Structure 1
Amino acid sequence: MRESDKWALTAKGKLAGGRIKTSVKLGDYIEWPENFDLTQLPAHQSPDIPVELVSSTKIAKEFAISANKLNYLFSELGWVNKSLKGWIATVQGLKQGAIQSEDTRSGVPYVRWPESITQSRLLLSSIDDITGSTSQSPSSSDDTKTASTSMGYSENVEAKHRATDGHFVRSKAEMLIDNWLYMAEIIHAYEHKLPIEENVYCDFYIPTGKVYIEYWGYDDDPKYFARKAKKLAVYKKYGFKLIELDDTDVQNLDDILPRMLLKFGVQAY
């Protein structure tokens, strides 16, 4: 493979199972799966089409934020993971066109991105959130609100239960969960939107470890059960870390949650 086109192959080839290999004689090259078929790739993902790759630093300058903050946004979206030093692209990041790289001197891993990542609706929304921008269109906001009632919280249930940390939640069980997390000094969000195109909201989200918590009630309600099944399918599709709680678990949070959280690297104090 020529030096001039190796990154073009890598950018889209990752999606098809290609792996970067390094040879003293050949340098970096792509190793393809034995069953790989180029015809399986859509035209816009063809490995023969050059893709301009940019660093997080360059992308961050475009949005007038620090590269470190941008990388943490990528991490929040599930596109990269923080390593001991540097950043590692995740499966979801590779699907966005991420290319794993390494500093030739220090060996610190970093990720490069296709320029098109700056048009990602998920990324733009996240940047709007941290910068306080109001660039989101009214129509997209309305769509989110409508969809959230079927794949997240229910607007028919008033959030009238006030937890110790000030969150208003929609049931006594959720209040007990929220209070437990607060007393355990675990930073958490309530009714947080999942970092995906679909408008799905979790009950609780723990940034440390990127863990989601769902409390399931009303299992005897067919509509609720159907919505639960759809939601679980989304968690499975994206490989998100999920803790599921029911009424029995809520009565034993001191025994249940520390063990479940520890599995995902979150320690309760």
Structure 2
Amino acid sequence: MSDKISTTALAKLRDLDAKDLFSELKIAGYINRGEDGWVLTELGKKFGGEYVNHTKFGQFIVWPENLLIDSTATSGNTLSATQIGQRFSLSAKKINQLLQELGWIEKSDDGWSVTASGLTAAGYQREDKESGQKFVVWHDSIIRNKRLRQSVVEFSGQDAEAHATDKSLSSFRQKFEAKHRTLDGHYVRSKGELIIDNWLYMNGIVHAYDRQLPIEEDVLSDFYLPSGKVYLQYWGNDSGNMNEQQQTSIRDIYQAHQFPLIEIYPDQIDQLDSVLPPKLKAFGIKAY
């Protein structure tokens, strides 16, 4: 947190009213308003924002003293799913499905609700005054969001590698080749992942393999189970256990973004019939 100060302190440093600075940061897409206070967005993190915890004041956001607030990159307007779809030549329905798959919104009887992850992508909860139906609008920086753009590319059947702006995932895939073919046609990187994938398939559980987490960092989840909106991580490879430092580093990312995670260790691979069902049940997923 070196050389970083609170929003209130930054406002004082710049001779601004704190309310005006909070408003400016929100318009720029750096922060969002949640039920329990201000939420730091992924865009805000890129410009140096971070959370700190104080024994007296609790959790709050701090910024570099020389913070650049790039207001020129936004129109200040929000975008609906229909308007986002127009930018990507997709229907509002498809956009909402992609946003749901990313874990940013969830469907209920009274419409769409923004999730905790959606708040960090600068989604704003709205409600139709006449019908009472809920919907979500987005800061216009969503059009440039790395993960949404990647999802659109993959959904549209385009070559994701050719369109990627960051080749780190491609390099990772080349270094750790997925050479084990599962029953449902996935290619995975270890025998343990193969056994897990086959178990999920044989138990009728829809799953994605090598799914990018919906954050700016390039982090791949071993498995994503959309019906429970939960990730599954296998802490092993064909050489044995993943080291503790790697486990802690990856686990911290899930915790920081409040992504639910099921963890499986190499010594549990032969007991999946007893290990996985209760873990899945906690997220509303039933195994055959």
Bucket of the pairwise TM-score, normalised by the shorter protein: 0.7 to 0.9
Three-state SS of the structure 1 residue aligned to 2:246 is: helix
Residue 17 (str. 1) matches residue 34 (str. 2): no
Q: Give the drift of 1:137.
A: 5.5
- State the aligned residue count: 239
Quote the sequence identity (%). Answer: 38
Residue 108 (str. 1) matches residue 133 (str. 2): yes
Of stretches 187-196 and 131-140 in structure 1, the one that deviates more from structure 2 is 131-140
TM-score for the superposition, normalised by structure 1: 0.75
Deviations 1:57-97 (A, max 9, x none): 11112211111111121122222122223111112222222
- Structure 1 unpaired stretches of 5+: 1-6, 20-34
Residue 165 (str. 1) matches residue 184 (str. 2): yes
For residue 95 of structure 1, the aligned residue among 102, 108, 120 is: 120
Change (3 A) 1:96 1:193: closer
Q: Tell me if the contact between 1:81 and 1:88 (Cα under 8 Å) persists in the aligned partners.
A: yes
Q: Give the drift of 1:136.
A: 6.4
Q: Give the drift of 1:231.
A: 1.0
Q: 1: CA distance between counterparts of 2:107 and 2:227? A: 11
Give me the CA root mean square deviation: 3.4
Within 5 A, what are the aligned runs for 1:109-258? 109-134=134-159, 140-146=165-171, 148=172, 155-156=175-176, 158-217=177-236, 224-258=243-277
The one-letter code of the counterpart of 2:152 is: I
Change (3 A) 1:205 1:44: same
Three-state SS of the structure 2 residue aligned to 1:202 is: strand
Q: Tell me if the contact between 1:10 and 1:99 (Cα under 8 Å) persists in the aligned partners.
A: no
Three-state SS of the structure 2 residue aligned to 1:235 is: helix
Q: Give the drift of 1:259.
A: 0.8
Q: Tell me if the contact between 1:216 and 1:245 (Cα under 8 Å) persists in the aligned partners.
A: yes
Deviations 1:86-136 (A, max 9, x none): 111112222222211111121111011122211112111111111123486
Higher strand share: 2
Q: Give the drift of 1:192.
A: 1.8
- Structure 2 unpaired stretches of 5+: 1-22, 40-56
Change (3 A) 1:137 1:177: closer
TM-score for the superposition, normalised by structure 2: 0.71
